[in-house]
Structure 1
Amino acid sequence: MTSIPPFRDPTAPGNSLIPRQDWDRAPWNRWTFQHVIDLLPTTPVLRGAGPVSILPTDLRDIDAISFAAEGQTQTIGSFLETSYANGLLVLHSGKIVAERYLNGMTPYTQHLSQSVAKSIVGTVAGILIGRGMVDSVAPVTHYLPELEATAYRGATVQHVLDMTSGVVFDETYTTLDSHMAQLDVASGWKDRWNPNWPTNVWDLILSLKDLECPHGTSFRYRSIETDVLSFVLERAAATPLAELVSRELWVPMGAEEDAYFTVDAAGYALGDGGFNATLRDYARFALLHLRGGEIDGRRIVPTEWIAGTRFGGDPRLFGGIYQEVLPAGAYHNQFWIEDAARGVYMARGVFGQLIYIDPVADFAAVVLSSWPEFVSTARMKTTLAAVSAIRGALSLQ
């Protein structure tokens, strides 16, 4: 399919070639998700020179906690051994109570977040909306008039925040000619094998001309919606996405390490899935949400936006395959809502990335993984059962 040489894995001299078109798939993702910066063009999300937010530690033994999932009973210890996890961090009452690194990952490893990146971008959107720089009910064409010639005509910023635009976008990950395959090429993640495909993400957005339903009537998971949102934020703030995330989130949050995005041929930072950061800095992001948008006494995200994210989703738009994992769920502001009544919400990404946030229990968990599959309902249910068991055990201590 391509004559361009494969990547090299310097840690595996006996099996050192990684196919360029499959670098993000098993078995190579066990290594590549921790080394994206060695494979693709990137741009930094700087932490700046400010203070690091302290994460107090009170480690507990969680390995023996048992739980049932998919007809089997196992422990957290066995889950970590069999789930293709690379990192696990648990926060309770503002402290780290568990922190594990597996598969060669270290506290300094920047791990690919996949679609957890969407919630990073969504949070920055909440900051700009709260500041009045972006109007969520305005049409996206107010910020991006070029989209008048696309199916996004008439869609609002809130529609792309909630992935309810109605634009046709085939998210199928394993089909060679899907829109998602085109996005892989446009983003620079894969080599271009079809000469008619767009060469960057903006041109891919401009090519989307068809509607499958009226805007605002149904949720469909479309990664490209986050990229439309990202361009809205860039245009409104007159700032590139990576710099915007640094200025509005990473620096004020007190991140310990720089993060980074992958970039396409035009220099666009991939908002829908190209973000990479350390386990502890993902945990700081979770703590920011647990604290209602504050960290170390600094207000970063508006309280109203956090509350609106937790409780503002419409379960009526949320059906079909999505309810297999989240039967009481919704999707709102680039977050998955596990429990629309309790306000438990999540950032999720393919291959097993998860930030789970339960403000009522003052509990959060970050799981970074390299599953063999893009999506697995069974693995996701098992992960959520494991996280729930940890939460339940901590509530009794």
Structure 2
Amino acid sequence: MRPTEIMRGSPPAPEAQVTRANWRSFPAIRWGFTHTREMLPTAEVRRSASPTPVRSAPRELSRLGFTAPDGQPTTVEATLRETFGDALLVMHRGTLIHEWYGDGMSVTTPHLICSISKSIAGTLGGILAARGLLDPEARVVRYVPELESSVYGGCTVRNVLDMAVAIKFEEDYEDPAGDVARYRFSSGWDVPPPGVEASHQRAYLTTLRGTGKPHGKVFHYVSTMPGWWIDDIHENGDPKAWADGDLAEIFPGARYRSKWYTIDASRNDLAGIGIHGQWLYIDAASDTVIVKLATQPKAMDVPLDHRWLAAFRAITAHLAPR
């Protein structure tokens, strides 16, 4: 079902209706991720009254060809259409050079970015640290004392930024009664089944416990920068913590620091990644920033992530100085 066929009519056909019970399930997700404000209570974060103007010089990239990880030839546009892509934006040397929008999307359509939000939060953390308003080495409870009795009572802000808190949490998106489900009930994202209390975020956070291991040793995926913060991300991600962590098999040799991934340390690339196919990819060597939004059926789909990494590298290679 195409996004433009969902929630059409008054009332929509039963199979085309989106509710809080199904808005992140396929195919409803194809509508839900662009209409989140109609599904959940939200607060708008307004842009600056004087936003930085964006220069535009369109270039054709849709037909750019590359070899997918399975050895098959493909193109950027084919990959977008075959992987439930919703939007693609490419900036090169500060200039917007390419935009692509799928069904139901436009330049003004909001779209859920999932855990890319963490990378943005890590960036804001760097700004606050540069201004002396946040100490990454301070204990978390210095800023949120209510968490003293939780797993966060003994960890630092740096542990949280690097997702290296020794927390007892299993990120299984398929378990209807697991840790992810409880988190989503408390946040209001999902409707709890009968007999299960919804709770709220603050109460939920205080229930989280540790694994008994020290913080800062293992990467555990559960949740405008000053120059030194960018350098710190590139240089100080802990490869051993990554190798011992949850996603080592997906991105071998990667690192994680301040909510940003360094997928390939030899390239000094950075990435913010969200479930269901959200990517913010930055390649410093070619001065390129790529945003890709999607509504993939699976929360985590490794073959599609690897195909998109190949696409990003084909784009950056095409734009790199010759």
Tell me how far apart the structure 1 counterparts of residues 154 and 60 of structure 2 sit (CA, whole Å).
52
Aligned partner of 1:10 in structure 2 is 7
Higher helix share: 1
Shift of 1:196: 5.2
Question: 2:24 matched to which residue of 1?
Answer: 24
- Over the aligned positions, Cα root-mean-square deviation in angstroms equals 1.9
Q: Helix, strand or coil for the counterpart of 2:142?
A: helix
Say if 1:139 and 1:156, in contact at 8 Å, map to a contact too.
Answer: yes
Give the C-alpha shift of residue 396 in structure 1.
Answer: 6.1
Question: In structure 1, what is the equivalent of residue 121 of structure 2?
Answer: 121
- Equivalent residue for 1:313? 237
Shift of 1:72: 2.3
Answer whether contact 2:17 2:28 (CA < 8 A) is retained: no
Structure 1 residue 195: Cα displacement? 4.5
Q: Which amino acid aligns with 2:69?
A: A
Instruction: Please name the residue that 1:255 is paired with.
Output: none
Q: In structure 1, what is the equivalent of residue 251 of structure 2?
A: 326
CA contact (8 A) 1:311 1:343 kept: no
Which residue does 2:3 correspond to in 1? none
Which deviates further from its counterpart, 303-312 or 130-139? 303-312
* Alpha carbons 2:283, 2:316 under 8 Å: kept: no
The equivalent residue for 1:176 is 176
How far apart, in 2, do the equivalents of 1:392 and 1:47 lie?
32
TM-score (norm 1): 0.75
Determine what percentage of the aligned residue pairs are the same residue.
Answer: 33
Q: Is the 8 A contact 2:221 2:246 kept in 1?
A: no
The equivalent residue for 1:204 is 204
- Residue 299 of structure 2 corresponds to residue 374 of structure 1: yes
Aligned-partner Cα distance in 2 for 1:171–1:212 = 18
**Which residue in the other structure is 1:80 paired with?**
80
Q: Show the 5 A alignment for 1:225-264.
A: none
Gaps of 5+ in 2: 1-5
Q: Of residues 336, 345, 348 in structure 1, which corresponds to 2:261? A: 336
Aligned AA for 1:361?
A: S
Output aligned runs, 1:183-202, within 5 Å: 183-193=183-193, 195=195, 197=197, 199-202=199-202
Structure 1 residue 308: Cα displacement: 1.1
SS in structure 1 of the partner of residue 173 of structure 2: coil
Distance 2:235 2:103 in 1: 37
Residue by residue over 1:129-176, the C-alpha shift from the partner in whole angstroms, topping out at 9 and shown as x without a partner, is 111111100111112222221122220000000111101112111111
- For residues 73-112 of structure 1, the aligned pairs below 5 Å read 73-112=73-112
Provide closer, same or farther for how the CA distance between residues 64 and 150 of structure 1 changes in structure 2, counting only shifts above 3 A. Answer: closer
CA distance in structure 1 between the partners assigned to 2:92 and 2:136 by the alignment: 33
Counterpart of 2:135 in structure 1 is 135
* Cα contact 1:170–1:178 (8 A) shared by 2: yes
Q: Name which structure has the greater RCO, CA cutoff 8 Å, separation 6+.
A: 1
Q: Which runs of 5+ in 1 are unaligned?
A: 1-8, 224-292, 294-300
Any residues of structure 2 matched to 1:49-60 within 5 Å, and which? 49-60=49-60
Taking a change above 3 Å as real, the CA distance of residues 127 and 197 of structure 1, as seen in their structure-2 partners, is farther
- Match in the other structure for 2:308: 383
Please tell me the residue identity of whatever aligns with 2:181.
A
Q: Hey, what's the Cα distance between the residues in 2 that align with 1:318 and 1:166?
A: 13
Opposite residue 371 of structure 1, the aligned amino acid is Q
User: How far apart, CA to CA, are the structure 2 residues paired with 1:172 and 1:365?
Assistant: 28
Q: What TM-score results when the alignment is normalised by the length of structure 2?
A: 0.91
Amino acid at match of 1:390: I
